[in-house]
Structures are given as structure tokens and as C-alpha cells.
């Protein structure tokens, strides 16, 4: 329950991102603002301040003020980290959620067809899954991203630009299909031999109806239990890709890109990298707890394949 509340808070906060940026912080989190300044307690403060070293060489962005503008300080571009964090949460959560949803739909389809019809179809689908599974998930995602980010994706008349969020969604959904499809396939294979399926067949119920009526509702339990875990994995993958700047493209933010922004400031302004990192940890933790709770509640006893 607590995990669900935390997730709801995160999602709501992220949705309020424009409100915070415009009405509370009065900043534009997507525009570089190195020369700017802001007022705090009646004092005019430069966003970029001289370094703390004895010679005051170089500039560092302002640290956390713990107040409305620059709550968490600024990044090296002089942008409000708190506002970017909220905007980044939008992208990260959006991508994680839709990638997981897409992955569930695709892997449920693959798993159900492979498990139910068996034979050649199962062999072909399972071998494809094996091949995909043989490539390390991140390596696979990175290679796909690099290719598609470089020139966008052109499928016939449709072109997906390289800064479109659909790209990371598709890529993340694709690489986790084997992970989820295996679980579904195994479940369907046990269900296929269940007596109620035999009973339905003995009553002359058509195969497609058996699939929809007897099989599908009985795998939803596994799917529901799998969903939060898959979302957590998708979030982690998205952050990793964005950190490598092959996920969400600048100037748009995601928790991964903010960590990358904070990478160079890790000694002087650790909050820039730590805040999104903490957000990721919290959300992933909450999702995992939620997944475990759901699994216990739905009593899904499938052995899950651990992800490396």
C-alpha cells in the first residue's frame, strides 16, 4: 500500500512539473541560463558562482537553496534541477509505463500463441526468444538505440524522429519480450493441459474461444504480478539509455539525462546527480515491493527467470 502511495505521489508530482516551473520557480528548465541571476531573501544571487577553491577560478552552479527557485540548485547550464527532475519524471515514468505495457501485450501474445498452439509455431517463436535472450539486455538495447537515434526510424511511409519518445518505448519493450514471454508461455503450457481446457474441448468449444475464455483470464494473474517488475526494469533501462545519451534527447529531461548532467558536478554539487538517482531508487523499490505484494496476493507460483 505504501509503495502504491509513493508511486502515486511521484506520478502526481511529475504531472505538476509545468505548474512548478512556471508558477513557483519561475524558470524555464529547458533553456540555458548561465548568465542569469535570481533573488533570494531580497538578495540578488548569480546562478553561476565562483568556485570554492582558493583562487576562485572557474564557475560552479548554485547549490540547493531548499527554497522555491533552485530548490535543488542548478546544473551546469544554470537550469533549475528541481524543475528538470519533475519534467524528467514525466518522461521516465511515461516511458517506463508504456514500454512495460507494450512489452506485456507483445509478450502475452507471443507467449500465449507459443504455449497454446505448440508445435512448429512454438519452436519458431521460442528460438527467436532464445536468440534475443542470448544478447545481454543492455547491449541489445544500446545497439538498437544507437542505430535508431542516429537517423530516426523509417518504416515505409512512417518516420519516427530520433527525439521521439516512441523510440525508447519500442526499444525497451522489445528487449524485455523474452523475459515476460517465457513466463506466460510456461503458464499457458500448464493451463493447456488443465482439466477445464480438456472439458471445454470435450464440449466442442472452438479453439479460439478456449484461448479467450479459458486461457487468457487465467494468465492475467501472472501478467499483473509481472507488470510492476517489468515497469521497474523498463525504468532502469530507460535511465541507463538516457544516461548514455541514447534515450531521451536533450533538451528534454529524464532522470537518466539529469544524472548525466550531474556527472561532472558530482564533487561540487552532488545533489544534481543524487536527486534523480534517489528518485529512481525509490520508484524501483516501490515497484518491486508492489510486485511482490501482488504476487503473494494472486498466488502466482511461477518461477521467474532472474534478470542479470
- Is residue 124 involved in binding other proteins (CB under 8 A)? no
Three-state secondary structure string covering the chain: CHHHHHHHHHHHHHHCHHHHHHHHCCCCCCCCCCCCEEEECCEEEECEEECCCCCCCCEEECCCCCCCCCCCCECCCCCEHHHHHHHHHHHHHHHHHHHHHHHHHHHHHHHHHHHHHCHHHHHHHHHHHHHHHHCCHHHHHHHHHHHHHHHCEEECCEEECCCCCHHHHHHHHHHCHHHHHHHHHHHHHHHHCCHHHHHHHHCCCCHHHHHHHHHHHHHHHHHHHHHHHHHHHHHHHHHHHHHCCCCCCCCCCCHHHHHHHHHCCCCCCCHHHHHHHHHHHHHHHHHHHHHHHHHHHHCCCCCCCCCC
Q: Is 56 in the site for other proteins (CB under 8 A)?
A: no
Does residue 26 touch other proteins according to CB under 8 A?
A: no
Binding segment for other proteins (CB under 8 A), chosen from 34-42, 127-135, 181-189, 199-207, is 199-207
Find, among 63, 64, 75, 62, the residue nearest to 29 by Cα. Answer: 75
Verify binding: residue 209, other proteins, rule CB under 8 A: yes
Residues 92-121 that bind other proteins (CB under 8 A): 118-119
Does 208 sit near other proteins (CB under 8 A)? no
Q: How far is the CB of 214 from other proteins (least distance, A)?
A: 5
Is 198 an interacting residue with respect to other proteins (CB under 8 A)?
A: yes
For other proteins, the closer CB: 70 or 113: 113
Is the Cβ of residue 6 or residue 213 nearer to other proteins in the bound state? 213
Min separation Cβ 183 and other proteins, Å: 18
Residue nearer to other proteins on the CB measure, 11 or 211: 211
Residue 22 or 207 with smaller CB distance to other proteins = 207
When binding is defined by CB under 8 A, the residue of 12, 39, 44, 202 that contacts other proteins is 202
Q: How far is the CB of 203 from other proteins (least distance, A)?
A: 4
Considering the complex, what minimum distance in angstroms separates the CB of residue 204 from other proteins? 3
By CB under 8 A, name the one of 50, 136, 152, 206 that touches other proteins.
206
Give the residue with the Cβ less far from other proteins, 8 or 121. Answer: 121
Kindly state the cell numbers that stand for 290: 508492489
199 is a contact residue toward other proteins (CB under 8 A): yes
Instruction: Tell me which residues touch other proteins (CB under 8 A).
Output: 118-119, 194-196, 198-207, 209, 213-214, 217-218
Amino acid at each position: 500500500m505504501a509503495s502504491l502511495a509513493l508511486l502515486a505521489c511521484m506520478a502526481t508530482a511529475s504531472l505538476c512539473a509545468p505548474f512548478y516551473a512556471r508558477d513557483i520557480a519561475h524558470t524555464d528548465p529547458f533553456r540555458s541560463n548561465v548568465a542569469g541571476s535570481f533573488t533570494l531573501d531580497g538578495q540578488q544571487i548569480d546562478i553561476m558562482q565562483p568556485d570554492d577553491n582558493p583562487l576562485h577560478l572557474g564557475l560552479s552552479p548554485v547549490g540547493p537553496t531548499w527554497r522555491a527557485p533552485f530548490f535543488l540548485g542548478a546544473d551546469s547550464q544554470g537550469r533549475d534541477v528541481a524543475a528538470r527532475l519533475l519534467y524528467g519524471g514525466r518522461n521516465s515514468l511515461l516511458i517506463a509505463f508504456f514500454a512495460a505495457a507494450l512489452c506485456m501485450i507483445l509478450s502475452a501474445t507471443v507467449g500465449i500463441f507459443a504455449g497454446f498452439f505448440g508445435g512448429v509455431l512454438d519452436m519458431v517463436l521460442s528460438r527467436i526468444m532464445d536468440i534475443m535472450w542470448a544478447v545481454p539486455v543492455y547491449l541489445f538495447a544500446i545497439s538498437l538505440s544507437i542505430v535508431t537515434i542516429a537517423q530516426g526510424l523509417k518504416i515505409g511511409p512512417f518516420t519516427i524522429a530520433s527525439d521521439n519518445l516512441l523510440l525508447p518505448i519500442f526499444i525497451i519493450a522489445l528487449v524485455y519480450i523474452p523475459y515476460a514471454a517465457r513466463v506466460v508461455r510456461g503458464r499457458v503450457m500448464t493451463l493447456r493441459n488443465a482439466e477445464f481446457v480438456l472439458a471445454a474441448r470435450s464440449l466442442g468449444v472452438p479453439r479460439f474461444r478456449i484461448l479467450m475464455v479459458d486461457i487468457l483470464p487465467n494468465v492475467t494473474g501472472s501478467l499483473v504480478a509481472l507488470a510492476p517488475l517489468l515497469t521497474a526494469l523498463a525504468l532502469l533501462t530507460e535511465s541507463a539509455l538516457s544516461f548514455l545519451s541514447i534515450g531521451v534527447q536533450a533538451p528534454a529531461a529524464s532522470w537518466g539525462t539529469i544524472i548525466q548532467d550531474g556527472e561532472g558536478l558530482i564533487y561540487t554539487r552532488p545533489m544534481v546527480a543524487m536527486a534523480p538517482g534517489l528518485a529512481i531508487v525509490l520508484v524501483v523499490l516501490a515497484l518491486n515491493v508492489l510486485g511482490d505484494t501482488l504476487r503473494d496476493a494472486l498466488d502466482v507460483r511461477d518461477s521467474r527467470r532472474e534478470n542479470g
